[in-house]
A and B are shown apart, each in its own frame.
Chain A
């Protein structure tokens, strides 16, 4: 795989709610001497429809994104374990019986990488030269990246190399925060109870900042912290890794 050019799959949540996470991702990748391209017709990976059981809609969305990404070169980098997992596993599954697109879906899937996994496993980098003001950080393992793609050590390795960052292990880091996309609205009480457990564990770490790799989970946790008036910052790992790198 040619690695001087990479494609950014920014995800719909970053696109509309956290565009700076996309900009940080670009800065980190460019900092590694890579040329970042952004396929402009990209939309959503289709996961919201897929998880909610709307298979026809999920298929049409998966088909669109495969068509857009297929016609590109190099690794496809996403600042989300969840969307990367959707493109890696469920996209090809959904399109497996459509012979015109199935091979393309598998080809795209083979190039998709979550940001931290790409840095550590493909580029072999754990120190991106980031430095932050002295602070204590806890890391939340988002479910789909962790269990779907096996991303666990990569973000921790990267965070441990950030100058100024003290790393605190979050108890039950691997337990879901209760976001779950549509789940957070269909089952708001249970979702909130899961969030409260997550926040309780987070408070026990004494962390100044909670870091994660998926803005979905992070906006859930930050939304909960803000509503409860708890002054713990929340940051996507790309935001942290960019700091001190201009």
Chain B
């Protein structure tokens, strides 16, 4: 168990500015997603197709990885394999050193957050500048993203204005256009001076060796074309078999993530600059990162690797909305984080994330590739029980209850006992304001119904 778990972090976040801003943003994203889906008659069919593509890719991942690496090499890329974050960071650092890079511009990438790449580069004295507006704000604030696609959803315009005034010396404003212009101005010189551009990969295309990136700010294109060297860091599961499959994925991704029919900039890059090209990097490196993923492939939660990082499950999740993304304590938050993180990093330290759900099912309903998140949360809870990580009080309660529920006479006695006990603790309203032991966790904020003095079983027997 981590010393401070989800419950403590979430409790501290409730009703905070951060959580309220998150809830408002999450609701806006959800409204847009629903509108986009409703205005696209083929949405459900596209979701089915996207799910089929992702599951097929995962089932044949070894083959598609090999094909991707071969096609990408043929296209003139350097392909690297990293078993974990440390190895991936070392490869990046080596490329940075070999290319004598002093300044790195980055476009938004969750996998580089996961492996804490910026930290490694900065320790080596290399300046790293995040160029996605949200990530740029996060970097100025010294924070981590609280949402997969909207890293700064937890901040208000006012907070961002104050941050810009303090960190990049612009006049205090809350106007989004002015703030945006200030960031553009600041970043423009960075793009021009940068030696190395680092991006993530939304999808790698196995048959062409292409990498695809979607952004709404154009920063992805500058990151991947202006500097001399481009490194794309890709989670090993982010493949689709063909360009045609990529089209399907981009259709559901944009609609599910931001409610757009298509993201403003959908880029497909196949290799570095060619002799006839006007621009582009001299070298393009693709680092394929495992970092626990091949271990997840063998688990009952393997389907989570089908995730396309749209954030729709975060936006609909009432737990995420109330607690905010930072309560999850790691890169991936919301329902996808609650499944992915314990699967990647183990139940001992991260298993409590699997409890952070009322199993309401809103995530499954929203997921463009129909990942059965509630089922996998239950799978993780089953593993916790098997590893004796469930709380002893809960274990006792469930075992006692199950023993009674499989013995009808014992069950009826147990149900009647509640009514008997209630007779000794009469209430005027029929509701109790305090319960002992585990019950306190309910009655600290809610009344609990006093058991009826006669159970339904008793009433039935009497009436017939």
Contact = CB atoms under 8 A, between A and B. Distances in A.
A49 B381 CA distance: 11
Interface stretch (A57-65, A70-78, A125-133): A57-65
B388 to A, nearest CB: 12
Nearest to A59: B402
A16 B418 contact: yes
B52 interface: no
Interface in B425-464: 429, 431, 433, 438-439, 441-442, 444-449, 451-452, 454-457, 459-461
Interface string B1-39: 000001100110011000000000000000000000000
A53 B385 contact: yes
Contacts of B384: 53
Given A61-B405, A188-B441, A226-B447, A194 B398 contact: no
Interface in A133-181: 143-144, 147-148, 174-176, 178-181
B181 interface: no
Nearest to A46: B405
Nearest to B459: A19
Given A176-B362, A194-B319, A223-B448, A43 B411 contact: yes
B419 interface: yes
B307 interface: no
A193 B15 contact: yes
Interface centre among B6, B383, B398, B433, by most chain A C-beta atoms within 10 angstroms, is B398
B457 A40 contact: yes
Interface stretch (A7-15, A102-110, A115-123): A7-15
A239 interface: no
Contacts of B454: 19
A23 interface: yes
B406 A187 contact: no
B404 interface: yes
Contacts of A68: 408
B394 interface: yes
Contacts of A193: 14-15, 322-323
Contact of B455 (A19, A42, A46): A19
Nearest to B457: A15
Q: Decide if the interface of chain B is mainly helix, strand, loop or mixed.
A: helix
Given A18-B452, A23-B459, A60-B402, A53 B378 contact: yes
Contact of B442 (A51, A54, A176, A188): A188
Contacts of B404: 43
A186 B318 contact: no
A205 interface: no
B242 interface: no
A16 B416 CA distance: 7
Interface stretch (B95-103, B225-233, B253-261, B352-360): B352-360
B382 interface: yes
Given A16-B451, A54-B402, A175-B362, A187 B446 contact: no
Contact of B360 (A18, A43, A176): A176
Interface residues of B, number: 66
Nearest to B358: A180
B361 A192 contact: no
A110 B395 CA distance: 32
Contacts of A220: 446
B406 A61 contact: yes
A15 B415 contact: yes
B451 A147 contact: no
Contacts of B408: 40-43, 64, 68
Contacts of B418: 16-17
Contacts of A174: 362
B419 A190 contact: no
A15 B402 CA distance: 16
Contact of B456 (A14, A49, A189, A195): A14
The 5 closest A-B pairs by CB, nearest first: A53-B381, A180-B358, A57-B402, A223-B446, A176-B360
Given A19-B454, A147-B364, A176-B362, 20 more contacts: A17-B452, A18-B452, A42-B408, A43-B404, A44-B405, A48-B398, A50-B378, A52-B385, A53-B385, A54-B385, A147-B360, A147-B362, A147-B365, A176-B358, A180-B358, A189-B10, A190-B323, A222-B447, A223-B447, A226-B446
14 contacts: A14-B456, A15-B456, A15-B457, A16-B418, A16-B455, A19-B452, A23-B456, A53-B382, A53-B383, A54-B399, A182-B394, A186-B391, A188-B444, A188-B445
